[in-house]
Amino acid sequence: MPAIEALRIRKILDSRGDATVEVDVRAGDIVARAAAPSGASRGVHEVVAWPAGGVDEGIARFRTEIAPRLKGVDAEAQEHVDRILHDLDGTPDFARIGGNVAVATSLAVAKVAAAAARKPLFAHLGGGRTFPFPLGNVIGGGRHAIGGTDIQEFLCLAQHPSPSKSVFANAKVHKAVVATLRKRLPQDPIGKGDEGAWVAKLSNEDALAVLADACRGVSREAGFPILPALDLAASEFYRDGKYVYRERSLTPDRQVEFVAGLVESYGLALLEDPLDQEDFAGYARLTELVGDTCLVVGDDLFATNPARLEEGISKGAANAILIKPNQIGTLTDTRTTVGLAQKAGYRTVMSHRSGETTDETIAHLAVAFGSYAIKTGAVGGERIAKLNELIRIEEYLGG
Ligand code: PGA
Ligand code: ZN
């Protein structure tokens, strides 16, 4: 029983230049660390990221309430630790201590327990039979890139069971896309969004065509499937009952037809947040239409929340769930949601946030939970922190 002896919190930078926190937990002579990411297109059903007074108030609460209370607690007793976090907070959505303070604490405790048991985190959590396919963001817009497409993310899913093959394939698609964009738009500057995806003056369908073409080319060369995918983050452009695109607006019924048409025309492997976060019925209709060939993934729809997921399962809404630990605040809550998904046959996609740190923990969680995919960008320091950790895990397992 490794007891928690000391806890520390500090304010650090995230990849957008905003403040976030990392937590160190010491048990004996072992110290482990975890940091919280932050979202830009946050769902309304997520826990509250920071208390009303912001990051500093979260840090103050950690120092005066959380650290003293967790001292002496068994680091192995994850559920007990996470219960304490909820009890100290006392709200249904971590509004008082902040979900980001909670998640950094919860994950740091899990990591110190794993290190004390001399195991990597994924193994300590009981996983390691399969690897997730990397889902890499290649072209972007929405909240992550002003002036880009109104669809937030154009992604590629490299389907090789070995991360050391698949993550390089996604990076190749990322390179192939910019080569095409430079040819097509020789006068235009081409930038990168928050997650390292290319930002260019393109219509949604042009972007998808360029992506699908790059996926086909790299796939042919690599000899395994690399398929296009989208995260529409549709709640971000749903206004007064319509999906408002730059060039037109669609009713919910027309939106379902539009995205089902994209799945058909471009062979999309995965669709994330194709509809507004309250439209369970629309999700059910769309899943009925395309669910045989395409993963319909709820991100804002479920917000990693077990009650939201249960509602979705009972209504046949989506067939997969995005898992972002800081949407729900603790490892235990995250595991509950993952367990529910697995029981219902929903696939899980472990995910970064658009604002990230070099913390690599989600690579371990994806392997621990047997996630179908891990969405964590294609390139960029805070993104490759996770991708390279996957490669290390593969090596550790003798892959
Ligand atoms: P985020 O969203 O900006 O809130 O991290 C990314 C996503 O929609 O998956
Ligand atoms: Zn999303």
Q: Are 262 and 114 contained in the same domain?
A: no
**Ligand 2 centroid – CA 186 distance (Å):** 31
Give the residue with greater pLDDT, 142 vs 370. 370
For this structure, is 11 an active site residue? no
CA 237 centroid distance within chain: 20
pLDDT in tens, 33-56: 999 999 998 999 999 999 999 999
What predicted TM-score, i.e. pTM, was given to this entire model?
Answer: 0.98
At residue 185, the pLDDT reads 96
Rounded to an integer, the average pLDDT of 194-214 is 96
CATH label of the domain that carries residue 162: 3.20.20.120
List b or e across 87-105, with b for residues whose CB sees 16 or more CB atoms inside 10 angstroms.
ebbeeeebbbbbbbbbbbb
> 345 burial class (0-12, 13-18, 19+ CB within 10 angstroms)?
exposed
Write the CA distances from 393 to 40, 368, 369, 386, integer angstroms: 29, 11, 14, 10
Look at residue 156 and give its three-state secondary structure. strand
Domain boundary among 75, 92, 118: 118
**Do 344 and 207 lie in a common domain?**
yes
* pLDDT mean over 260-288: 98
Residue 124 lies in a domain: no
The atom of ligand 1 lying closest to the CA of 300 is 8
Tell me the CATH number at 78.
3.30.390.10
> How many angstroms does the Cα of residue 188 sit away from the middle of ligand 2?
28
Diameter over CA atoms, the chain: 63
Which whole number is the average pLDDT over 90-116? 98
As a whole number, mean pLDDT of residues 194-202 equals 95
Q: Are residues 373 and 334 in the same domain?
A: yes
Is the residue at 43 inside a domain? Answer: yes
386 is catalytic: no
52/180 same-domain check: no
Of 84, 118, 152, the residue that ends a domain is 118
Dig out the tokens for 170 from the structure.
């996604």
The answer to the question of residue 24 being in a domain is: yes
Q: 102 with 174, same domain?
A: no
Would you say residue 341 has pLDDT above 70? yes
321 lines ligand 1 (CB under 6 A): no
349 lines ligand 1 (CB under 6 A): no
Are 148 and 77 in a shared domain? no
Distance 353 CA to ligand 1 centre (A): 5
Domain boundaries, position 62? 4-118
What does the pLDDT look like over 219-243, one tens digit per residue?
999 999 999 999 999 999 999 999 9
Q: Is residue 205 part of a domain?
A: yes
Note whether 93 and 195 are same-domain residues: no
Task: Tell how strand 153-158 and strand 191-192 pair up.
Answer: unpaired
pLDDT digit string, tens, across residues 140-166: 998 888 888 999 999 999 999 999 999
The answer to whether residues 323 and 361 belong to one domain is yes
Average pLDDT, the chain: 97
Q: Which ligand is nearest the CA of 143, by number?
A: 1
Decide if 387 contacts 134 (C-beta within 8 A). Answer: yes
The atom of ligand 1 lying closest to the CA of 351 is: 9
Give per-residue pLDDT as tens, 289-321: 999 999 999 999 999 999 999 999 999 999 999
Ligand 2 centre and the CA of 142: distance in Å? Answer: 11
Q: What is the pLDDT of residue 153?
A: 97
| Domains in the chain, number | 2
231 pocket-lining for ligand 1 (C-beta < 6 Å): yes
Catalytic residue among 111, 324, 375, 386: 324
> Is residue 72 one of the residues assigned to a domain?
yes
pLDDT at 6 over 80: yes
Tell me which H or E stretch contains 2: none
> Is ligand 1 within 6 A of the CB of residue 39?
yes
Same-domain pairing of 229 and 315: yes
pLDDT, one tens digit per residue, over 53-63 is: 999 999 999 99
Q: Is there a single domain that holds both residue 160 and residue 285?
A: yes
Q: Which residues lie closer than 8 Å to 359 by C-beta, 6 or more apart?
A: 22, 33, 34, 35, 37, 385
Do both 160 and 235 map to the same domain?
yes
Q: What is the mean pLDDT of residues 5-23?
A: 98
pLDDT at 347 over 80: yes
String of DSSP letters for 305-356: -HHHHHHHHHHT--SEEEE-HHHH-SHHHHHHHHHHHHHTT-EEEEE--SB-
Q: Are residues 137 and 167 in the same domain?
A: yes
Q: Is residue 125 part of a domain?
A: no
Which residue, judged by its Cα, is nearest atom 4 of ligand 1? 39
- Confidence check: pLDDT of 399 > 70: no
Regarding the beta carbon of 230 and ligand 1, being less than 6 Å apart is answered no
Q: Among 118, 153, 174, give the residue marking a domain's end.
A: 118
> With 90 as the cut, is the pLDDT of residue 96 above it?
yes
Gap between the terminal Cα atoms of the chain? 32
Is 36 contained in some domain?
A: yes
Characterise 157 by phi-psi region: left (phi > 0), alpha (psi -120 to 50), beta (else).
beta
Residue 128 counted as domain residue: no
CB 273 within 8 A of CB 297: yes
Q: Give the mean model confidence (pLDDT) for residues 129-139.
A: 96
CA atoms of 238 and 235, how far apart (whole Å): 5
> Which of 47, 149, 276, 351 is the best mutation target for the ligand 1 pocket, counting ligand atoms within 8 Å of the beta carbon and taking the most?
351
